[in-house]
Structure 1
Amino acid sequence: MAEVATSTTSEQLLVVVDPVARRSDGESVRIAKDVLGAGAAVKLCLPEGPEEFARALARRGSRRPVVVGDDRTLIRAVGLLHRHRELAGCPLSVVPVGGALSLARSLGIPTGTVAAARAVLDGVERRMDLMVDDSDGVVLGALRIPPVTAPPDVMDPEEEGLPARPWLRTCQSLVRTLVPAGRPSRLASAPEPGPSRLRVEVDGETLVDLHQPVEAVSVSPTASGLASVEVRPASVGAEASPLLAEARTVTVSGAHFRYRADSLVSGPVRTRTWEVREGAWGLTLPAPG
């Protein structure tokens, strides 16, 4: 892992550049480095893989971490800090670089390189809600069941620092369903055909039960410490009205199902519970006005 230190002001930044961003858009990475280096003391880390990425964050010391990369890089950084129970006390800054930036955009992060880098230097911390599931996974934006078709670059377990499974890599082309429950699959699944029979519980109360087929379930954190839940029942004749609720915990159970959380497709699982954590992490955003 290459590290380069530059010094301009007393503020200390640890800038961790995702290797995919370096390969796909080296010019934007260079611009981000120049803008950040002109306004702060920067330690630049160029990890070659997920293990080096994790080590760079773990060894940040008193430096404020800045990650340069796409939505996957942001999710990886938040997940690592959460698993080490350091997320609450470690505000994160992001310079989006890459093709998959919809999550960053939805969170209010500028997607232009110069604007994003200036927001890192001049912005303010905003506390953000997220959802944590019962396998210790995090959701920053939204989840959907069944998963919408994902782009071909959906995250690989090894790319995200999960345990390597050589037998899985060898057999993937033949047996896609052997990915353990709760782990992201390398190949995103298309929406499962036909309606699903799922039980959806919100704060312990049943919103829809197994006897009612559903077309889709979507859950996303709001700004109020609650999750917004929408269940679309399978229509018979006229289109059925969606069932709406807000809750702090959401449990989905039933036949084995997959779900897409942010850009990850996970499963199959028989049950999963998500809990909203209010103000669980800090994100640097442009100052108001």
Structure 2
Amino acid sequence: MSHAGAPVGGLLVLVDPVARRLDGESVRIAKDVLSAGAAAKICLPDSQEEFARALARRGHRQPVIVGDDRALVRAVGLLYRERGLGDGAVSLIPVGQVGSLGLARSLGVPLSAVAAARSVLDGAVRPRDLLVDDSDGVVLGDLRIPPVRAAARAPGPSVWSAYRSLVRTLVPSVARVGHRLRVEADGQLLVDVDRAVEDLRVVPVPASGGTAEVTLRLADGSSLRVRAASVTVSGPDFRYRADALVAGPVRRRTWTLRPGAWSLTVPRG
């Protein structure tokens, strides 16, 4: 781990539009702390397209994302696709609803705007592994194909009690059906479509030499856990959750671990 320090080219502070609407005070505090400690260019994009253009024009400035998990994943994905992750560290100042900051917390970023801004200026750079799929999508923390659940909602409050009772009756049988998937890890077959998968989770393992932990829970109650550098899932249309984002449906997807592909600034120690 190396010390971050203020970069020679200064900072590009990209404030996600959602963060600006939700918590203008935290955004203001972050801007004040960063501007007092480094040469900072503040960008206030009004759309994701403007966000992407500003990031692409960052020059030698270190990108600082002010926003939630989705904003961080979007920025890292854009940098990966332009092959810009090797240019330097990415920083995050988490601003958003509590439920949208789980990834930030797991990565060791302080949830306080002041503490996060200070770590941008005098924190440390930590290399992070990256899961990349065959459509250039990225996963920073957690990839899941979660259990099948009843997705419908009640048609109205007047029938809610009866509807809720019906759902409680049906959910166990729905969950037992599971996903009919073929799952391979490093080219080795783990499970085929003849066995239903209830839950699949892939998480990079720090300091493992470039492997991710693959955990399979099957609908028959058994489970399987292996480590691998790549995972391929195929079968009938399925959706998956990459960090905070739901993607799909797709019929086949391969994820490959890129060790140390990006770097994040975090507090020292």
Q: Normalising TM by the smaller chain, what interval?
A: 0.7 to 0.9
Give 1:196's match in structure 2, choosing from 179, 184, 208.
179
Secondary structure, aligned partner of 2:198: strand
Q: 1:148, 1:260 within 8 Å by CA — same for their partners in 2?
A: no
Give 2:12's match in structure 1, choosing from 8, 11, 14.
14
Structure 1: 5+ residue stretches without partners: 1-7, 150-189
Question: Is 2:51 aligned against 1:70?
Answer: no
Taking the aligned partners of 1:10 and 1:281, their CA distance within structure 2 comes to 19
Root-mean-square deviation (CA, aligned residues, Å) is 1.9
Could you tell me which residue of structure 2 aligns to residue 96 of structure 1?
A: 94
Amino acid corresponding to residue 226 of structure 1 in structure 2:
T
Q: 1:162-217 CA deviation, whole Å, 9 max, x = no partner?
A: xxxxxxxxxxxxxxxxxxxxxxxxxxxx9x75311211100000111121112111
Taking the aligned partners of 2:139 and 2:7, their CA distance within structure 1 comes to 35
Deviation, structure 1 residue 89? 2.1
Deviation, structure 1 residue 258? 0.8
Superposed, 1:123-162 pairs within 5 Å as 123-146=123-146
Deviation, structure 1 residue 11? 6.2
Question: Is 2:268 aligned against 1:287?
Answer: yes
Q: 1:112-143 CA deviation, whole Å, 9 max, x = no partner?
A: 11110010001111110010001110001111
Taking the aligned partners of 2:240 and 2:183, their CA distance within structure 1 comes to 14
Question: Is 2:213 aligned against 1:228?
Answer: yes
Q: 1:147, 1:259 within 8 Å by CA — same for their partners in 2?
A: no
Q: Percent identity among equivalent residues?
A: 63
Higher helix content, 1 or 2: 2
Deviation, structure 1 residue 35? 0.9
Give 2:255's match in structure 1, choosing from 259, 271, 274.
274
Could you tell me which residue of structure 1 aligns to residue 153 of structure 2?
A: none
Deviation, structure 1 residue 84? 0.5
Q: 1:147, 1:258 within 8 Å by CA — same for their partners in 2?
A: no
Q: 1:147, 1:260 within 8 Å by CA — same for their partners in 2?
A: no
Taking the aligned partners of 2:148 and 2:201, their CA distance within structure 1 comes to 11
Taking the aligned partners of 1:122 and 1:131, their CA distance within structure 2 comes to 28
TM-score in terms of structure 2 length: 0.84
Which is greater in Rg?
Answer: 2
Amino acid corresponding to residue 197 of structure 2 in structure 1:
V
